[in-house]
Copies of this chain bind each other. A is one copy, B any other.
């Protein structure tokens, strides 16, 4: 899946800038969110395509994940990995938590194989409330 042997030192200037932006945010950002950051403008990036190209590379390297249901991108919370990850998406604060799915992955892919389906990639996204927000809601 991800190119786990990637050398972060070999990232280009643009790729480093985008990765740093996502790390710093600590939550998913859209490509246009990234584009709007001062640090990104200072790095000379000013077109959406510039951001998308950096993101494409970072995703291929497994350093960043795309959250489909948000059209947003988040720094990988686990370092590059070769198994499927799942995302818990807080609908209150917008933060996400990445969870490993080694065991579930087999179960899910098994369901697919039962149907004669050859699985390449498994994506899991769950919405709800994170511990912080669930706590706040319970104590009004």
Chain A residues within 8 Å of B, Cβ to Cβ: 68-69, 86, 88, 90-91, 97, 99, 101, 103-104, 107-109, 111-112, 115-131, 134
Contact = CB atoms under 8 A, between A and B. Distances in A.
B131 A116 contact: yes
16 contacts: A68-B125, A86-B108, A86-B111, A88-B117, A91-B120, A99-B115, A104-B107, A107-B107, A112-B128, A116-B130, A117-B134, A118-B128, A119-B126, A120-B126, A123-B125, A123-B126
Contact of A119 (B88, B111, B121, B122): B88
A59 to B, nearest CB: 13
Contacts of A129: 117-118, 120
